[in-house]
Amino acid sequence: MLISRGLAALDRAGRVGSGLGPYGLQAAIGACHARAGTLEDTDWVQIAALYEALAELTPSPVVELNRAVAVSRAYGPLAGLEIVDALTDVPALRGYHLLPSVRGDLLVQLGRHDEARREFELAASLTRNEPERALLLDRAAACEVLSGRRLGA
């Protein structure tokens, strides 16, 4: 019910004026996710385009990181990794655990498990959230197994 009302309001906002502002773009991104029944049904090309428009209106390294995820889903992990790699030296993202976490995800998709393991370990060291740290360390351990190493060897 509430999602339907939100989608209707977004549709009205899109018809009024010359385009969506930053909040409208964020709402449109949320609407794409809400409309999708599954991850595979998500319109990642549309979401990547919306993030690109958002980045033009309100440039931010976090918006770029989110755009990288959408681009990776729409056009493949290498395309997303190019965006992420351009963010690794951005001072505002130093200490932001989601940067190495996203980078690790993309490296796993590319089969670069040793690099991914290091990224997940870095991400785990940067988060203060214990369940998240445990998840990231589990992902690092899985990468170690996938790369042909055995834990404790």
Question: Residue 129 — left, alpha, or beta (φ > 0 → left; ψ -120 to 50 → alpha)?
Answer: beta
At residue 2, the pLDDT reads: 47
At residue 34, the pLDDT reads: 92
CA 86 vs CA 25, 79, 91, 95, 103: distances in Å: 23, 11, 12, 16, 11
Q: Does the pLDDT at position 152 exceed 60?
A: no
In the chain the beta strands, taken as DSSP E runs, fall at none
At residue 148, the pLDDT reads: 77
Alpha helices in 76-129 (DSSP H): 77-87, 98-109, 113-126
| pLDDT: which is higher, 17 or 33 | 33
The tens digit of pLDDT for each residue in 79-124 reads 999 999 999 999 999 999 999 999 999 999 999 999 999 999 999 9
| Cα four-point dihedral sign 9, 74, 54, 68 | positive
The tens digit of pLDDT for each residue in 7-29 reads 454 454 454 345 789 999 999 99
The structure's pTM equals 0.84
Is residue 69 within 8 A of residue 79, CB to CB? The reply is no
The tens digit of pLDDT for each residue in 37-90 reads 898 999 999 999 999 999 999 999 999 999 999 999 999 999 999 999 999 999
